[in-house]
Structure 1
Amino acid sequence: MFDTVLVANRGEIAVRVIRTLRALGVRSVAVFSDADADARHVREADTAVRIGPAPASESYLSVERLLEAAARTGAQAVHPGYGFLAENAAFARACAEAGLVFIGPSAEAISLMGDKIRAKETVKAAGVPVVPGSSGSGLTDAELIAAAREIGVPVLLKPSAGGGGKGMRLVRDAGVLADEIAAARREARASFGDDTLLVERWVDRPRHIEIQVLADGHGNVVHLGERECSLQRRHQKIIEEAPSVLLDEATRAAMGEAAVQAARSCGYRGAGTVEFIVPGGDPSSYYFMEMNTRLQVEHPVTELVTGLDLVEWQLRVAAGERLPYGQDDITLTGHAVEARICAEDPARGFLPSGGTVLALHEPQGDGVRTDSGLTEGTEVGSLYDPMLSKVIAYGPDRPTALRRLRAALAETVTLGVQTNAGFLRRLLAHPAVVAGDLDTGLVEREADGLVPDGVPEEVYEAAAAVRLAGLAPAGEGWRDPFSVPSGWRLGGTPKPVSFSLRVLDPVEYTPRGTHTVTADRVSVTLDGVRHTFHRAADWIGRDGDAWHVRDHDPVAASLTGSAHAGADSLTAPMPGTVTVVKVAVGDEVAAGQSLLVVEAMKMEHVISAPHAGTVSELDVTPGTTVAMDQVLAVITPVEEETA
């Protein structure tokens, strides 16, 4: 076993790897950018090295700085985690050239399976069924359009070099293929530095099943069962479970063997995942999609049902050990389900969010595990991936695991940053999810019904209670009646105290219930029902949901922003960076025309014209960093021009 391992990553996966290193008695080295100087993974490692400024391109993606950090700390091996350089063949090769063990497959295997086009050809030759699609690499836009028309819409555009849903586009209308290809190339280039695309047939109502494989350097390969990852949004997995309710033992064995053959076809070593698309009505008709040559985000569910620590076996295999078990020794016991907690706001269309973690509670124990990179005080910005943590529940059967996970999500508190925890809790209670009737489009179809309609009154009541408590004078004895927030007036009827508050829209609210306020809780009783919230500063939360209840000053609001603020203004829907500007001041635009692109947390958001008119104000250029709700441009309507 190694003495010292450098973890070339950040956040929850870095904390996760460090935990196993500590258990094995291996010294851990963390790396950090300026944005992560006080991050949890830095605190928990045995030592840590600054590798550059906040942008990932100058820190976590810098091979030179990572290798320098390894040399300075005497590391013998590098664990890449997932994301960043985890599937970068050049990084794996550079580690080997520097005398470091890369804890993962060979550079050749990464390169082969990282190119989705070559990967499909390789596994197809090994007898693994693949999704029908385009052939050849480096296709032009015209060739992609031709291939898509030949396959027939709907089709899926996919970056050849990446994964994680980045740059993927489902196209149902052949008329928009050119625009979708351009957008997919842009995202792929930003995420992976390579805009090569392929096109595949889209399987309607598919299920996403993946097989975990583990291979040593001595020719032994086993699979550790499957994970169901069909609950996705924008092609990003949000709920994963093991095993899948879809597969019977015969199909599980066949898919497992196909995954083993895929791993053998590229000489794989270490932990990897072979992903399949499966028609929900015919699970025996499965197709290879891709192989992820790294540890997966969802690996904990496999650990819980197999009893194996996958990070430990990554380390042992990298150190040259043989797998001490064969396929017949692998058994799946019980059921595990994982939920990914992301910094995003369901009430604003799941746009990325940010802020400072003011209050934090993450459940552990009694069949519940939380893998997290958070601490109170963590700054969540727009530079990195929005996933903050994972909550995983285990039980003897699927209903128990689902029930425990819903309870754990209700217990989860992350105030100061909007997350999707409450949304995930409601998703896990959806009848189709409970029944196991899943497909990759379910979340998108049902999302609107899983987001609360407006802000519950008790939220405003709780916020008002906190403000009332702040107004009340402290101490015992006589109190000046004018200092008590009761609405008391000399010689007149008391006037109810009211507050101008805002969550989404401004509300003038007069509290009417009874309240109890402590340092971190607020309880209110309305119409005989008691509601209890966690609180921190202007944030309150319960059952995984959180609300940022701000004081609203209508005078100040009217004085801020553009002189034309209102329906004519285009504002930033999230904190991020403007990557594309397609217009200039004076340009005439049509209603719905794409004008700007804002990127945050590896997600693009297109800003379109609210109506036809002229660009009368443009306050940004490519590369401009913007805050949420910042005015980007103003479109003067046609009606105003002709009036």
Structure 2
Amino acid sequence: MTFDTVLVANRGEIACRIIRTLRERGIRSIAVFSDADRTARHVFQADAAVRLGGAAPADSYLNFEAVLAAAARTGAQAIHPGYGFLSENQAFAQACADAGIAFIGPSVHALNVMGDKIRSKNHVAGYGVPIIPGVAQPGLSNEQLIQAAVDVGYPMLIKPSAGGGGKGMHVVERAEDLPAILETARRVALSAFGDDTLLLERLVSTPRHIEVQVLADHHGAVIHLGERECSLQRRHQKVIEEAPSPLLDAATRARIGEAACAAARSVGYSGAGTVEFLVSATAPDEFFFMEMNTRLQVEHPVTELVTGLDLVDWQLRIAEGEPLTVTQSDICLTGHAIEARVYAENPGRGFLPTIGTVLQLHEATGEGVRVDSSLMPGLTIASHYDPMLAKVIAWAPTRLEALNRLDRALADTVVLGVQTNTEYLRLLLADADVRAGRLDTGLIERKLPGLKFQGADEHVLAAVALFLHGRAFAGSELAASSLADVNGVWTRPSGWRAGSPRPVRYSLGMRATESIDVRVVGEPGMASVSIGDGPAVEAGLLRVGDGACSVDYGGETRVYAIEQSGASVYIGADGFSLELRHRSRAEQLAEHLLSRDRVPGAVSPDVRSPMPGTVIAVHAATGDVVTAGQTILVVEAMKMEHKLVAATAGRVTVNLKTGDLVVLDQIVATVTPETSTTPGTSADKEDSE
């Protein structure tokens, strides 16, 4: 069967990427969208689009009845699920089959066997695929797991059988810690996946995460397309991936590839899939099966760049019944490719998710550079979905050249209006161990404390103050012309007056409760700038326009991307970006009045949300007495939960309820310390009697 219409049951960059191949093949593409994605990029790129429902995934992208109805309505013969959402949902695959619509993925049998970690490990072990020593049996109680752990050995890893993406994994170093961690692991597994089945695995020392891409048709042919190194992870989430791995030699590559093919053959696999292995950096010739992902992977572009194959194109061909026309001997890995994931998150604030509207966008181009993106100017990034916005990929003849090319591409990437992790990605690429290929899954966590992120240094503060000063000047000139003022000196905010000039003050801060005064005297092109209590420095706004400004501060000239939205100014250069808030005089006065009655050094009574999101639980009510560290409410954004706790003991006032939306740094509760009774009062006497 040849497809002429395919529905893409996904969103974001992967939907855009699939639509691109559909367009190249002349296949009509159908996008689906939630209310939150009505103006998303994938909606505009498709030939047609159908609304699924509300912003919540359960009301839209996970509602397979609505997806199937959209396919029927538009005449789609096939559905491509991308990754995440319905891509590994057995019930959805079966519903597609029942409706006579092709599911662009493997069979329901393959999804069933490989969708459960315990079942898949026990299954592939019978086909000669090496597995990590451990316990993988369904239905075991905590007591039985504790007994079985003696043979597994320590350190070990507890994993939820139904899990994915690293969620719910726990490391156990000592036998005495196992009972308590098992209890926690079961709660997390049940909450996240609806299944509290756990498995135990020996923890491999200095582990490296190596995965092998496979292709299989409906006629029995199975090949592998080499491996990808995915060891650079934070909290079990991949950050940077590359192909091929700098660890494996040709002989090991052939062996691990054949093991991946054996795993695929064991379930009669068809389509594109990935078999994931764990390899010890100290014993690179040994590898152990972890799981099989029965879908396209986020990092598939690096395989495409080193093999020259379009994996989405082959998914379509295989689903149409076409046999593989490439054999294993045809596969040749040419050059090196590296991918970095761009997330809506703030590394400087613990990688908490961010939201906002894209005010300015520049995505890298050039030889060997590919960008798979969902971004566009004016796009609103909300808190409903995964925070990944784009992938920047670079190919070059050698690994070092690919690293340098990717770094340059990230430096050329500008996203203003939404905080991203681009600066963090550049810092990782510059690390000596990363550049040498000395990788393991714990590297990022070890390196994080030493990473120094760009803050609002004096040059940035001066640039923002001069930018605002220039805006004020432009406004004053307009006002002067409308009033026919022949003497602009009285309307320009230059600080001129009879006697010494009066500085114009700009209060700038990265947080709602922090700011620093920047004083400007003179016109924007030639001014004196003082930052905080520092000395006056000559500075000038050399050029501003087209979303950029050139600023000289103390004889050093820098160029920044810059945009203003309300009280916020977004500024960035060379991959880093910051949001600085220009605090009004009313805000400064209010903070000053609040701080007057606060004991020096005392903790602020305000509980603020460190990220935008939705309140999913409230654990205290107005009037309750809370202790320091007690959870008051929980905020969720982009699949991340964050507990907001009382910084001090006292009586709480809660301003929100479950379901309410919060913005960054919003005050969600206030804790008023209880007045203590002084010694010698009647209350003390009564207590002592």
1:132-164 CA deviation, whole Å, 9 max, x = no partner?
Answer: 233222444555566567645543332322322
Aligned positions of 1:173-192 closer than 5 A: 184=185, 188=189, 191-192=192-193
- Match of 2:636, SS state, is strand
- 2-structure distance, mates of 1:587, 1:170: 36
Residue from 638, 657, 666 that aligns with 1:601: 638
Aligned positions of 1:5-404 closer than 5 A: 5-140=6-141, 151-172=152-173, 184=185, 188=189, 191-404=192-405
- 1-structure distance, mates of 2:10, 2:419: 24
- Match of 1:325, SS state, is coil
RMSD between aligned alpha carbons? 2.5
1:314-334 CA deviation, whole Å, 9 max, x = no partner?
Answer: 000111111112211111000
- What displacement does 1:107 show? 1.2
Q: Does 223-232 or 568-577 show the bigger shift?
A: 568-577
Tell me if 1:500 matches 2:507.
Answer: yes
1:170-219 CA deviation, whole Å, 9 max, x = no partner?
Answer: 44476766775566556555654444333323223211111101111111
Aligned residue identity for 1:629: D
- 1-structure distance, mates of 2:621, 2:22: 54
Q: Does 373-382 or 574-583 show the bigger shift?
A: 574-583
Aligned residue identity for 2:490: F
Tell me if 1:553 matches 2:579.
Answer: no
Aligned positions of 1:442-457 closer than 5 A: 442-452=443-453, 454-457=455-458
- Match of 1:629, SS state, is coil
Contact 2:463–2:551 (CA<8 Å) still a contact in 1?
yes
> What is the percentage of aligned positions where both structures have the same residue?
56
Aligned residue identity for 2:379: T
1:200 to 1:568, Cα distance in 2 relative to 1, 3 A: farther
Residue from 502, 506, 518 that aligns with 2:545: 518
Contact 2:12–2:41 (CA<8 Å) still a contact in 1?
yes
Residue from 555, 559, 569 that aligns with 1:528: 555
Q: Which runs of 5+ in 2 are unaligned?
A: 520-528, 530-536, 679-689
1:270-310 CA deviation, whole Å, 9 max, x = no partner?
Answer: 10111111111111121111110000000000000000000
Residue from 575, 585, 590 that aligns with 1:544: 575
- What displacement does 1:479 show? 4.0
Tell me if 1:464 matches 2:465.
Answer: yes
- Match of 1:137, SS state, is coil
- 2-structure distance, mates of 1:186, 1:39: 36
Contact 2:477–2:488 (CA<8 Å) still a contact in 1?
no
- Match of 2:164, SS state, is coil
1:604 to 1:311, Cα distance in 2 relative to 1, 3 A: same
- What displacement does 1:401 show? 0.5
- Match of 2:642, SS state, is strand
Contact 1:539–1:549 (CA<8 Å) still a contact in 2?
yes
- 2-structure distance, mates of 1:470, 1:241: 45
Count of paired positions = 639
1:196 to 1:642, Cα distance in 2 relative to 1, 3 A: farther
Contact 2:496–2:502 (CA<8 Å) still a contact in 1?
yes
- 1-structure distance, mates of 2:242, 2:462: 38
- 1-structure distance, mates of 2:375, 2:241: 21
- 1-structure distance, mates of 2:73, 2:79: 13
Q: Does 321-330 or 628-637 show the bigger shift?
A: 628-637
Contact 1:572–1:628 (CA<8 Å) still a contact in 2?
yes
Residue from 661, 674, 679 that aligns with 1:625: 661
- What displacement does 1:448 show? 3.0
Contact 1:120–1:130 (CA<8 Å) still a contact in 2?
yes
Choose 1 or 2 for highest CA Rg.
2
- 2-structure distance, mates of 1:521, 1:355: 20
Q: Does 196-205 or 543-552 show the bigger shift?
A: 196-205
Aligned residue identity for 1:632: V
Question: If the length of structure 1 is used for normalisation, what is the TM-score?
Answer: 0.94
- 2-structure distance, mates of 1:554, 1:181: 53
Contact 1:231–1:237 (CA<8 Å) still a contact in 2?
yes
1:312 to 1:206, Cα distance in 2 relative to 1, 3 A: same
Tell me if 1:487 matches 2:495.
Answer: yes
Aligned residue identity for 1:541: G
1:235-255 CA deviation, whole Å, 9 max, x = no partner?
Answer: 110100000110011111111
- Match of 1:549, SS state, is strand
1:55-83 CA deviation, whole Å, 9 max, x = no partner?
Answer: 11000000100000000000000000001
